[in-house]
Structure formats: C-alpha cells, structure tokens
Structure 1
Amino acid sequence: MIIFGRLLTIDLRLSLVAVLFVGAVMPTMAFQSGQPTITRHESGISLAYQGMATAVDQELALDVITDRIIHVVARPLGSTVRPSASLVIVDSLHRTVGPWQLEETAEHVLLKTTALTAQVTKATGVVTFLDKQGQPLLAERQRDATTFAEAAYDGDAFYRVRQHFTVSDGEGLYGLGQHQNGVMNYRGRQVTLLQYNTMIGVPFLLSTNQYGILWHNYSITKAGDIRPLLPLSAFRLYSKEGQPGWLTATYRDKDHPGTVWASRPESDIAYLYLDDQSRFPDSVDLARSQVTYEGELESPYSGLHRLHFNYSGYVKVWIDGQLQEDRWRESWNAGSFEIPLDMQAGERHAIRLEWLPDGGQSYLGIQWQRPIPASDQALFSFDSEAGAGVDYYFVAGDDMDAVIGGYRHLTGRAPIMPRWAFGYWQSRERYKTQQELEEVAREFRRRRIPIDNLVQDWSYWPEHDWGSHTFDSARFPDPEGMIKRLHGQHFRLMISVWPKINEASSVYPHFRDNGWLYMRNIYDGRRDWIGKGYTSTFYDPFNAGARQGFWTLLDKQLYQKGVDAWWMDASEPDIHSNLNIDERKSVMQPAIGSSARYYNAFPLENARGIYEGQRHTDPENRVFILTRSFFAGQQRYAAAAWSGDISARWHDMKDQIAAGVNFSMSGTPYWTMDAGGFLVERRFHQPNADDLEAWRELNARWYQYGAFLPLFRAHGQFPYREPFHIAPDGHPAYSSMRYYIELRYRLLPYTYSLAGNTYLHHDTMLRGLAMDFPRDTRALDINDQFLFGPSLLVSPVTQPGATSRPLYLPQGAGWYDFYSGEYHRGGQMLEAAAPYERLPLFAKAGSMVPIGPAVQYTDEKPADEITLWVYGGADATFTLYEDEGTNYNYEQGKFSTITFTYYDSTKTLHIGSRKGTFEGMLARRKFHVVYVHPDAPQGVATTFRITKTATYTGKEERIILSK
C-alpha cells in the first residue's frame, strides 16, 4: 500500500532480522550438543548452527509477515558483511500476522500459521514449505560450502550467494521478468536476471503449485538451471573437411561471394561485446562480409542439449541439413534465441551458420548447455553475484492471483493508470519538428481514427544539449502552444526523458558539481553516435539529491509546459551500448553502494524519482511512466514497461508473447511493446511491391495482437508508423488496424475494470494460460497464446501468409468464437480461421465482456449504454469498475463498482447494487444484455439479438435470460 504517494527505502523488518542474528529476545527453545540453538521471537524464529557435521555454520531466520508470507534469511555464522539496503519491500507494509505456533519434534522445528507451515530440519537447516493440509509446496536443498562465496567489488565486501530449491513433478514456473527466447515455462531452463535492452530481470518466480518466491537480491542473478553455459569449444568440433578441433570460418565479400577475404579455423564464436570486435580478421570489412561457419559438433553427453545464440545482422542456422532459425537484428542491438538438440555421446551433427553482419560492428556468439543430470532435474536455483546472504520471501496463495497479491503486499500496489492510458498510443522514431507532430494529430482526427496519446521521442533538444530536456527552438518554436493545442484536440503527450547527460550539455556542470553523475564514462572518453559524437554519462538515481534534481529539471522544462507522461528510455542503465557486463558495472558508481550489489535496481530508483516528484508537485494528477527496464516493486511507481528495441520481424513478434506474459506473471501488470517492431530492415525503406505488402501484413498482424495488451502502442524506426502511412484507406491492412483500434475503445469498460481490479484485488490483466488452467498440463508450455483478463483468449497470428492457425482451447471451460459465437469444447487443438483482417479470439464459457459505445477518445462521453455479453455454460461474475479517471481520489475510496453474477443453472443474471460513489458518476444508464450459449451462437460480427435491456439506477436487479 502506498501512503500519500511517498515511499521510504528502509525495510523496517531488517531491524528484526538483525535482532534474530545477534541474540535472543526470548528464551531459547532448545539447545543440545549437535543441535542448533533455536530462539523464538515476536514474529519468527532463528536457528544458529555451529560446528555441526550435518550443516554449514550459519544463522537462519524465519520471519512471519502474514499467514501466507514467510521471510527467510540465511547468513554465514558471525558474518560482518553489511545487509543490503532494502529498496523493494515497502515501508508501509502492515503485518497481518495472526496467531502462529512453534512446534518441535526430534527432527524438525515447525513454524505454523493458519495457512502455511515452514518446517526446518534440525540437522541441516533445510526449510520445507507445506500447505495447510501438510502437503509439500517447495523445499530448499541443503546449503553447503558453495552457498556463500566471499567476494568484493569497489571496496564492498559481500558473498556470491546460491540457493537450490526442489520443485515437484509437472510444476510450471513463470515470471522472472521479460526475456526474448520465446520460453513460457522456465522449468529446466536458465534465465539471466539482468537489465539489458530487450531484457528485464525481476526476481519473482510464480508456480502453478500456488506459491511464489521473491528472491530479495539486487545483483545480476542466474535463475533456474544455473550451471555455467559452455563455450562452443566444449564440443568436439570438426572442420568442413573433417579435421578435428574447429569449425571452418569463411569470410566473403557479400556483393561478390566468389571473393574470399579470409578462411580460418575458429573453435569459439564469442563476438558478444565491443571489445570482441578486434578479434575478427584484420583483412575483413565486416560491414561488407558474408560469413559462413561449417563443420560438425560432437558431444560427450547424451540427452537434450540447448544451443544459445546471440546475434545481430542476418543469421541462418542449419543442423543436419535442416534450417532451424532465420533471424535478423540491426547490427548494434543483438538478440538471442535457443535451439534444442537431442544428441548422443560420440555422434556427430552437421552445423552450418550463415551470417550477414549488416554493419561495421556486429555481434555473434554461441554457447551451449549440456543435458540436465537426473539428480538435478527437480532443481530450480538462484545464483546472485552479490548479497549479504540467502534472502527470499516465500508467498503462498489459493491461486496464482493470490500469490501475486502477496508479492504486491510486499512490494506495493500497482496504482491505476489514468483512463486515457488505455486508449491508443501513436509514436514513431521520431517526430523531428513541432509541425510533424501536429500534422499527425490533425490527420488522426480528420480520419476519425480513435486515439488518445501522442509520443515525442528523443532528440527534441539541441544536438549538443542531451540532458537539458530543452526543446530546440528552431524545430519546436512554441512547445507550450503545441501542447495546449494537442490538449484542445483531446490528445495527451508523452515525452522521452533519458537519464543521460552530455558533457557539453548546459546542465552538466550543475549535476557534476553536486556529485550527481557517474563520472567514469566521462573520464574514459567514450563518445555516442550523435553528430560529431559527444561524451556523456548518466545521473545517479540512488542519490536522493540527484533524484530531486532530475525531477526539478523535468518539472521546469517539461511538466510545467503541460507534458502528461514520461518515457524513460535506456533505464537499464545503458550508459554505453554493447559494453561487456564488467565494463557496464565499472561505469556505474551508485551512492548507495557498489554496482555489483545494486546493478539491477537502477530502473526502480529512476522511476521512483519521477513518481515521487510529480506526486509532490501535483498530487491530483495521475503519474504515467513508460520505462525500458524494470525491477521488483516498480509497479508501485505507476510504471509500465515496454520490451525494448525489438526488430520488425515475425520471429520477434512471436517472442514478445512469452516475454510479455512472463513479465506480467512477475507481478508487474502494465506491459506493452513497439507494435510493428522498432528496428527495420533496409528493404522496407524503399520497398518493392512484394516487400511493401509484406510490411503491411506484418503491421496488420502486430496491431491485432497489440490491441489486447494492457497498453496499446505503435512505435518504430522509419517507415512512418501511423496506420495511414502503412497502408491506404480501403487496404485490408488499414481496415484491420482501424478495426482493432476501434474495438480497443469499445472494450474500454472491460479493460478499465481490469485495471481497477488490479489495484483493488491484485488481479492480472495479461495472463498465461497456466494462471486460469494450472492443472491442464498441455497449457503450461504454450508460448503463443494468452488470456486478456478472465474472459478473452487471444491467439496472435505470427506467420506470414497464414489464413488460419492451430491453437489450444484449455481444458475445463468451453469457448465461443468472439466474432461468430460458435461454441467449441475445451481441451482440444483447433485449426482456427485467421483471415488477413482478424486474429482468432475466443470468449470463455462462464464469463462476461462489457462493451461500450464507439468513441474517438476515452473521455469523449460516459458509457451510459453498455452491451454486456454473457457467455453461458458455467457460472460467471464480473465487476465493472469506474472512477474519475485522472486523479488519485480512488485511493480515498471515491470509485464505484457494479458486480454482475450469472447463474448458469437458472440462466439468471444478477446485477448487484452499486457500491461507492465519485464525482461525475452516472446516476442512470442502460445495460443491453446479449446472452450467448451453444444453442444460440451470437458474436460481435453477427447480427446479434439483445436478450434484455435493463435501465439501471444503482439498485440490484435480476434478469431471466432463458427459460
């Protein structure tokens, strides 16, 4: 919970944990030779292990937060390493600890709440969590000599910390932020929790066994299968001629493939960062090259291997003559993918890799992971670079939404975004002048395409003055007037605000002299890519004065001019792209401590400064922040994330589905992407007829998908990204984009209610199938479908030329085609129609979808008439949430809810009495009820029949839908 919009950074429970480690506050429960010392405290227990043959020397503390949340900390006995500052856990957390019991048996100590038991094995210190029926949920693996490894960085002493957990058979594991490998279920996979363009690390794991782990650590962390990735040379390699020891690398002139510039053996392909570029052959112009790697791989292991690729440019990979991947990323921004490969020890597999670097600096790397040993197949682990010890929160719940609720209880509620944020956002890289931006606004209104938000991307400042956030007067002569005119046309303006400050910037001396900057990049003399190139660095958001100074600058230069929302780019921090990880840490010197310990928390503190600054300056106006990176707890700062600089290709569109859903299942509800993809192949700049149609189809499909995300936003490099620049009126791509923008606005009562319930009840808008169907094993790994709220199953089309696609209808519910109303049973694969202008969309039997009036912007008129679609076949409930839309009065209870309940056995709809009130609330409205059931299919694309119309004045009503 957020109190007065302000958060402190101190976790008050740290003082309790410190007490647990330094001595008893109540008499010890037991002490025997060869036994741990056990101490009971007001809200937990501690155990001290020393000199026991069965356990490492350690101090172990278990702290009851609620009846469903237990905090576990383990440190080496007598450690003098200072605890990490707590940035994630909110100080406004109120314990709801009911009665709890401490029991002891010969082998175990049991800490019991009404919902959960933490069982500590006396001999080892292993903690096992049991549900209220006594069934195991999760167990630690015993800590050993590898758990705490002493290390230091920049004068900061800490431990490299590792903890293994044993998970159950068939369990699905999700969350952990946003990752670009197309993986939905992370069981048996490796995940790097690292802030990097297109990657977001959030250390929260969500299980289908209805628990979560918040790994309370701020450093770069490996999760899952944490065994080190092996270099390519760990295989036995053979050249294309059969010589053992290497692959054959051939560098050709891409325009004259018969011209070979170099051919040489390469045993490792590891060109991952800037400092690797010098290892390419001196005789090669990489920008003009075509590179081929050929030969064979042989493994000493049998089983499932995973090949991990990092790449930029064009890459094709063949294994045993079969094309496995065909990918592209712009040269400066590497992507990643994985190829699973079953191998038998001693057997060779042919590999061929063709690479067009597509730039003077390009990146390519291959690593691999050997099969998981049988003894480790039930493990899920965390391995962090820096911390004071093992530190995590175990969160249990009756379902996965309740677990996420526990996570937000710890880290803060997600405020409701302003109502206008749920409309359509238009952006491009970039509007170069005031005139361009205003012309786009006028064209949207002229064409009557619904829209609420326009976005001004970077470089609106004078070239040298990056960091000043001052409009270049030559290109933006009247920014206040521009914003006022946009507001007059019912637009909001979001603007790009980087944490970057050029040495040549007008504000640099002020930030430097106050000690608010990371100075290493300045002294290293690295230049950016703008104009002649400028040295620059980032401000330090871990410094309270720097946060305040940064907000003061934004307030003066932008907020007071009328800017509505903040786009926080490069917030990893990406101080200089493509530096290796050690160099990235070296150019970041947080005031709070070492970068090794706090690296991943930069985006959290960066968002904090703007959120707290705006709420203090203007308490009535809701904050909206869009950020490229994100950390645990950042949802409390009104922050949404987008997936970074992805490419405008079908494979990247598909990868966004799992990326976004896992981000959402990390407890962080607001996510979006660049609909259309950010990076664009040059063939689309001046396309031939075929390429132009390919571009239009890609964008049409991407808009279809984007309409069902928490935030709907189009953005990207040239070509221009407005629907009317992508295709002309009458073209099926234009018709499709317009249809889904209009549908987005019709769905506003549904979408905004999801947002309200995300705040009130910790619901999740963007849902993996496992959230609603955790026992349907076929649903656990599906990475190209998702649920938008409780009612709609969305299946984007991710293949060019497709007019149908296979999809899975989860077991345990029936499903209605949203457009036609045709009914399908659950638990089956379906080849669903997917004509050019539509994506497959299904409504769940036993659900409701309120659809409002057609509008041009979100506050054009109130939803005084709502069509309520009721999908029979099971009981259903839906709560319509409404408030004032732009202020924080809802935090004081000024909102209303109307709960609809459908009883399938009696075919009765109950409209509950309205709860709550707010200024401007409709006193009277109409609900048009459309009843859909298998024998009476109706859809939004059919001539549907309104079953009943209720004139509603706030009093409950009952409606019989069918006799």
Structure 2
Amino acid sequence: MLMKFYNKAGGLFMLFAFLLTMNGWAQPIQKTAQGLKFAARQMDISVEFYSENTVRVYKTPIGKPYLKTSLSVVAVPSKVAVRYAKKGQNPVIKSSKIQVEVNVETGGVYFYDASGKELLQDKDEGTQFSPINDAGTSSFKVRNAFSLDKDEAIYGVGQIMDNKFNRRNSSHLMKNENMSTYSPYFLSIKGYAVFWDNYSISKFEDKPEELSFESLGHCADYYFMFGANTDGVISELRGLTGKAPMLPLWAYGFFQSKERYHTQGESLDVVKKYRDLKVPLDVIIQDWRYWPEYNKTDSAWNSQTFDKERFPDPKKWVDEIHSLNAKLLIVTWPGFGPKTPQRKEFDSKNMIINFDTWPPKSGARPYDVFNPKALDIYWKYLNKGIFSYIGNDGWWLDSTEPDHINVKESDFDLPTHLGSYRSVKNGFSLMHNKGIASNQRASNHDKRVVILTRSGFIGQQRFGSNTWSGDVTSSWEMLQKQVPAALNYTLMGIPNWNSDIGGFFAGRWRDNGGNKNPEFQELYVRWMQFGAFSPMMRSHGTDLPREIWNFGERGSWCFDAQEKSIKLRYKLLPYIYGTSWDVSENNGTFMRPLIMDFIADQRTHEIGTEYMFGRSILVAPVTKYQVRKSPVYLPKGSGWYNFWTNEYSVGGQTVETDAPVDIIPLYVKAGAIIPFGPDVQYSTEKKWENLDIRVYEGANGSFTLYEDENDNYNYEKGAYTTIVLKWDQKSRTLNISDRKGSYTGMLAKRNFNVELITLNANKTGAKTKNVRSVEYKGERISIKF
C-alpha cells in the first residue's frame, strides 16, 4: 500500500510512509527529504543523499537514537532530486548519478551506478552492535562489512610503511602513531570510495569474503561517494570534508632543517651561507628546545617562549631572516611540561589528557584538543609568545598523534571533552591543526596558514596542513616505502605530503664516514630528487647535519647533484604553483598515482613506485643503491618524452632509462605544456616576466598559468589571474588565452619563449630547436608551428 500526500505547492511532504508486506508482517518505511529510514535486525537505518554522487548511511541500535556531530564532515546535504522506486520487494532511491537499494529484512544496502551496474554491497546482516563498557560509559563495538568484487583493487586506508600499493587482503589496527597515519577510508578502482566516519582506535580488515571496519561508538556512520574516476571521488570527498586552500608560493621552495639549531645565530648563519653559495632556499625551520630550561628536566617543555641566552632577541632574529628573503617555521608541541603556564591553566580547567607524552621523564602531558575552549587557550599562548611577537611564517606541529610513552591500557580510558581517549584518538591531529589554523586565519589575513604536521586525518586538508611521514630511518628500504605510502595517503583527499629528505635517523651512517660516506651521499641525493617532486621539499634529520655544504664543496658530485635538484624545483615553480591552483580550485592532486590518469591500463593498478606530479610529469624515483639504469613503465593511452633527452616513446611498455646519480627518471606526457621560471635564490626574487614554455607534441593539451599576490587570502576575493595555454595538435598551434582577473602588482606584459618538443626531436641525438618568442600583453595570441 502506497500513500502519497501533497502540500500546496504540489510537492511531496518530507515524511510519509508506505507498507511492504513480507512473510506475513508489515515493515514501515519512512521517506525523508532525500532518502529513507527503516528498521531491520534491531537497527534503525537511515539512507540519505548528500549530493548527486554521495550517500550517507547511518545506523543505530533500535531504540537508542544518537545525534552524531562529525569532526571531518563540514558539508550539509545539497538539494538532490531523489526518485523512489521498487526492485522486487526492496525500495530503491535514485539520483541522476547513482542508485541505492535497501533490503528491509536484512539491513543490506546495495549501491549501483546510474545504469544499474553494481558498485558495492553493504552486506546483508553485515552490521553488528556489541555492547561494551567504554570507561564507564555504555557504548558499542560497531562492525560493518562490505562485499567487493574478487579482483577489485582498493587504495587509501592510510600512510602505511609496508611497500604495498593495492590494499586488498590486508588488515590494520588503525591507531595513529609516529609513521603510521590512518583514516578509515578506502577507494576502489571502480570509481567509488567509502569513508567510515569514526575517530576511535579501529580495525580495518580485507579478506576474500568481505571488507570490514570495526570501531568503538554509538552508531555506524559512513559515506559512499561515487566519482566515476579517482579525480571524481576526491572531488566528492573534498566537497564533503573541505577544500584544500592555496599555500603561499614560498611554501613550494626549498626548506632546510635539522634536529636542531641551538641558537638564533646558528640558524641565521645557515640562511646566510645558502645566500653566499647562491643555492636557492626559502625556509629555515627551528626545531625543539628553543625554550628555557632545555638542559635541566624539561619541566618547561614547550613553553612557547624563548631562552634568553640562546635566543636573546627573537624578534630581531626573525627580522634578519626576513631581510634575507627567507621564511621561518617554528615547532610547537601538543604536550606541556608541568612548570609552563599553559599546563597550569589547562590543569586548572581539566583540559589535560593525563598520560605521559614526549619527552621521557619530563612530566609533559597533552592538552585536550577536543575541547573548543582548549584550542583557543592554546592559541592564546602561541600567539602571544610567538606569532604576534616575532612574526614567524608557519608552524611545525610535531607529535600530533600525539607521542604516548609509558603506555598503560588505562590511559585510553582517560576522559576528553568528547569521550574516552580511546574513542577519539585518531582525530587528535585533525583537531590540533584546526585550532591553530582557524585561530591564525581569524587573526591575520595577510599570511596564509602553513602547517607541517606529523599525523593527519581526512578533513585536515582544509587547514593548509602538510603531513610528513614521521621519524623514518635513513635507509634504502625506507626510501622505497615512502612512495606507495605517499600515494595511498594522497588518495584520501589530503594533497600535501612530504618526508624527511635523507631519513630522520641517520645513526647507522654517523660512525661510518658520516656525510662523506658514498652510500649515504647517494641515498641523500636520491631522496632529495624524490623530495623535489613532492608537495613540500624539506631536508631534515638527526645524527648528521643536512645542509648542502656538509656533503662537500661545489664541484663535488654530491653537492652538485643536490644543487641540480633544488634548482630544478625552482625552475618548475610556475608549473607547481599552477598545480597548486588546480588542487585548490578543481580538487586536483599533486602526487597522482598512475590509476588517476591511466585507469584503463590494468598494469597501473598495482604500480605504487611511479606517479604523476601534477597532470604532466611522470616521476620514477630511484630507490636502490648504485642503480644507473632504471626500468620505467610508461602507461598506455599516451606518448612519452624523456624529460632530460626529449626522446619519444610510445606508452604501454617498460623502458630502461639512464639514471646517473644526478638524474631522476622523468617523463612528460604528449600534449603537455610546462612553464619554466627564471633562475632564482628564493621563490619571489624575480617576477615571471620571461617564461620558457615547453610544448610536447603528439596530443592536444592545456595548462593554466596561475598568479596572485603570493601570500595572503586576497585570491579568495578574486585577486588572481589565469592564462590558459592550449595546444592544438592538428593545427600545431599554441593558443594563449586572454588573461582573466587582476591583482595588485600583476605584470602588464611579459615574454613567452615557446619551444615545441617534436616527435623526432632527439632521434639522431641532435637537439633540434623549434622556438618562438612572443610578447604577451594580456590579449589572446596564437603561435603556429
């Protein structure tokens, strides 16, 4: 029996019911504004469209309603024209993009594309709520199982150091720690993803018969997102959990750091020496213990103030760094020593989570990031002691899991503002980043938020955060593991990632020749080459100094190879900044696994050793010692040019590529347009008045050159320009569009030096030049070759 009720406008009321008779009993189904609700197997189940492509499924034990507030999801449901139908005895709800069928007897939820092709099954009887006592609060162990195709590849899950890309047939305790950063999420090769919206210590397990999440909580709450392809999925995910803002141009330059610079003079001298050597540098980072009492008991750990002997004039220190056209990131931790004023205030307001955090024997404890008032208190001290005082340019948020030492099981029972620590642990970094980013953004419009953080969670991308892979060891094995770990992490919609160039712990090399050990030098160079094609290029580590001159003088192979990578990074800044705009505006991705652009090529489904950097450059890092020829797989669906030689190869084959120690294998996709900037010592030293543009023939292609004021939020008000460059292969013409937009300080005119890289550019070994130079004044130009 179907009952319809209409309001005066002729639309359906938000709620009505129809009865389905099954096996002699009547099952009520409630139709909601954009979905339906029903009860099955002692559960109340809600299925609701959030967009044409995204559906939220929400389950609670019957008679135990729970109002869930998400830490990750910021979207509200958009208006979707939902159609209702039946499939046998099962209700079906449809948008223009996907269909969802529910089994009112078993609680199963089945997802299809618009044509009816099955995508995923939330299994019949696959959800269980098992009562559990969570630190004195009645809660549940919640498990939800899904059925996947036998050979269906999946990705995401987290940054996992196991050297695997496809995450099928794996299981993980999802507990964010140093070097292990999880979000309960997977992305399918079929063009959909599932985000299990839960922050507790959880289990992920994929077996041939099912994939499951198991967590602590009061509800089963997940989002099914269909994008048809990987870019589409990430666009849905960012629409749900927040877009990634633009970082300033300087954030794509070279960062120098180590554990640690002891005085303000030491770090300042490092910047001066880079300038004297004319090796490009944009950022210096100050690591821990710049605060007082560092050599006593660490009872003043993270006081967010400066030791007067070692940092006698921190404002002058930062001003001098700025006068050298460099920027400063400064570390701050979530834990506080017992003698700090922050700790005393947090203690007095019950805003400390009372377990031991780093460093050992200090008495340091982390603050309760889940309390909004605690986030504001944290910023109050950070702003007064550092940001508004010295004018630093960004933050290094260390230990954002956070570190947990002298672990006791009872520590996870400790209360937070949102429940037991166990129930929210994996959201710690998300909330810590939120507090600092949101408060800085509210207090200063002229500096974009830049955060380097050691952990992450889905949604963190909206805070200008760049996750690094943690305190990894300095080894070839660990370098290999960085690549697939990074690719899976970025497939979770978080575009900014990096690692310590050279690996953090280098003790194995310290007593074996140190920086002059040939194998360590080669490892460092290969890691730097990888860093040049990461969203942040940052040298850091302990045991051995990492500044370039410690490896030799200019003219030595190790110095020169490093300088070559750093200079290439700076030459590519117009390409990188345009990619940053693509990430921010179009929900793009910096480090693009090959499945993103070549999913039709099944060989790419298992390749986690190569990736596209932006949409045009294929990167194949060398991760083994003394390799001088490296096999590189070139995907089907494109032609490919060796970046260094311009030699052309067809896709769908593995090529043996020359990889001398100063060369990282790079290939450029046919049809690509890549702008190259001037030689500079820092990112904004020269305006882009003369840009070299390489066009790689063989297919149509385009690139958007993006420019703005480099470091403020005026771009959000329209203060930026875009110039679209399009290559038409048939007519062999580069069309440069009218410039759109404007901003203070923009160039009125510039020169484009366009070089066409042709299919036979290097067949005989001779580098043929096909160059046109034009003056551009903001009006459309066509250049025919």
Bin of the TM-score, shorter chain as denominator length:
over 0.9
Quick check: 1:133 aligned with 2:115? yes
**1:496 CA drift (Å):** 0.7
What secondary structure sits across from 2:419 in the alignment? coil
Partner of 1:379: 210
Partner of 1:57: 42
What secondary structure sits across from 1:780 in the alignment? helix
Quick check: 1:662 aligned with 2:662? no
What secondary structure sits across from 2:637 in the alignment? coil
Partner of 2:672: 847
Partner of 1:508: 343
**1:94 CA drift (Å):** 5.1
Contact residue 823 and residue 934 of structure 1 kept, 8 A = yes
Quick check: 1:739 aligned with 2:552? no
| CA distance, structure 2, for counterparts of residue 938 and residue 621 of structure 1 | 49
Partner of 2:374: 546
What secondary structure sits across from 1:468 in the alignment? coil
Cα displacement string for residues 425-472 of structure 1 (whole angstroms, at most 9, x for unaligned residues): 000011011121111111000000011000000111122311211111
| CA distance, structure 2, for counterparts of residue 378 and residue 634 of structure 1 | 32
Task: Show the 5 A alignment for 1:405-484.
Answer: 405-462=235-292, 463=294, 464=298, 465-484=300-319
Letter in 2 for 1:672: N
Structure 1 residue corresponding to 2:695, chosen from 847, 850, 870: 870
Contact residue 696 and residue 727 of structure 1 kept, 8 A = no
Task: Show the 5 A alignment for 1:116-155.
Answer: 116-144=98-126, 147-155=128-136
Quick check: 1:174 aligned with 2:155? yes
Cα displacement string for residues 38-59 of structure 1 (whole angstroms, at most 9, x for unaligned residues): 111112111122xxxxxx2221
CA 1:690–1:496 in 2, change beyond 3 Å: closer, same or farther? closer
Structure 1 residue corresponding to 2:507, chosen from 648, 669, 681: 681
| CA distance, structure 2, for counterparts of residue 398 and residue 711 of structure 1 | 29
Partner of 1:48: 39
Which deviates more, 551-560 or 24-33?
24-33
Q: Percent identity?
A: 34
**1:690 CA drift (Å):** 10
**1:647 CA drift (Å):** 0.4
Partner of 2:398: 569
Partner of 1:86: 70
Letter in 1 for 2:752: F
Structure 1 residue corresponding to 2:525, chosen from 697, 700, 709: 700
Partner of 1:960: 784
Partner of 2:80: 98
Letter in 2 for 1:568: L
CA 1:689–1:571 in 2, change beyond 3 Å: closer, same or farther? closer
Contact residue 882 and residue 897 of structure 1 kept, 8 A = yes
| CA distance, structure 1, for counterparts of residue 670 and residue 172 of structure 2 | 36
Quick check: 1:797 aligned with 2:781? no
What secondary structure sits across from 1:901 in the alignment? strand
| CA distance, structure 2, for counterparts of residue 652 and residue 636 of structure 1 | 29
CA 1:938–1:147 in 2, change beyond 3 Å: closer, same or farther? farther
Letter in 1 for 2:391: G
Contact residue 680 and residue 717 of structure 1 kept, 8 A = yes
Task: Show the 5 A alignment for 1:135-534.
Answer: 135-144=117-126, 147-225=128-206, 376-377=207-208, 379-384=210-215, 386-462=216-292, 463=294, 464=298, 465-521=300-356, 528-529=359-360, 533-534=361-362
Contact residue 164 and residue 484 of structure 2 kept, 8 A = yes
Structure 1 outlier segments of 4+, above 6 Å: none
Gaps in structure 1 of 5+ consecutive residues? 1-23, 50-55, 226-375
CA 1:689–1:830 in 2, change beyond 3 Å: closer, same or farther? same
Contact residue 498 and residue 534 of structure 2 kept, 8 A = yes
**1:520 CA drift (Å):** 4.6
| CA distance, structure 1, for counterparts of residue 146 and residue 753 of structure 2 | 52
| CA distance, structure 1, for counterparts of residue 514 and residue 359 of structure 2 | 36
CA 1:817–1:381 in 2, change beyond 3 Å: closer, same or farther? same
Partner of 1:611: 437
Structure 2 residue corresponding to 1:717, chosen from 536, 542, 560: 542
| CA distance, structure 2, for counterparts of residue 865 and residue 527 of structure 1 | 50
Cα displacement string for residues 268-295 of structure 1 (whole angstroms, at most 9, x for unaligned residues): xxxxxxxxxxxxxxxxxxxxxxxxxxxx
Contact residue 168 and residue 378 of structure 1 kept, 8 A = no
Partner of 1:585: 412
Contact residue 192 and residue 201 of structure 1 kept, 8 A = no
Partner of 1:269: none
| CA distance, structure 2, for counterparts of residue 142 and residue 727 of structure 1 | 64
What secondary structure sits across from 2:441 in the alignment? helix
**1:107 CA drift (Å):** 2.6
Letter in 1 for 2:350: G
> Paired residues, what number?
765
What secondary structure sits across from 2:577 in the alignment? helix
What secondary structure sits across from 1:218 in the alignment? coil
Contact residue 173 and residue 206 of structure 1 kept, 8 A = yes
Contact residue 39 and residue 45 of structure 1 kept, 8 A = yes
**1:115 CA drift (Å):** 0.9
| CA distance, structure 1, for counterparts of residue 443 and residue 763 of structure 2 | 50
Contact residue 122 and residue 146 of structure 2 kept, 8 A = yes
Letter in 2 for 1:63: E
Letter in 2 for 1:788: F
Contact residue 643 and residue 673 of structure 1 kept, 8 A = yes
Letter in 2 for 1:85: T
What secondary structure sits across from 1:61 in the alignment? strand
What secondary structure sits across from 1:143 in the alignment? strand
Contact residue 185 and residue 193 of structure 2 kept, 8 A = yes
Contact residue 742 and residue 854 of structure 1 kept, 8 A = yes
| CA distance, structure 2, for counterparts of residue 537 and residue 211 of structure 1 | 40
**1:957 CA drift (Å):** 2.1
Structure 1 residue corresponding to 2:601, chosen from 771, 776, 781: 776
Contact residue 460 and residue 472 of structure 1 kept, 8 A = yes
Partner of 2:427: 601
Cα displacement string for residues 454-497 of structure 1 (whole angstroms, at most 9, x for unaligned residues): 00001111223112111111111111111000000001000110
What secondary structure sits across from 2:462 in the alignment? helix
**1:674 CA drift (Å):** 0.1
Letter in 2 for 1:135: K
Contact residue 574 and residue 676 of structure 2 kept, 8 A = yes
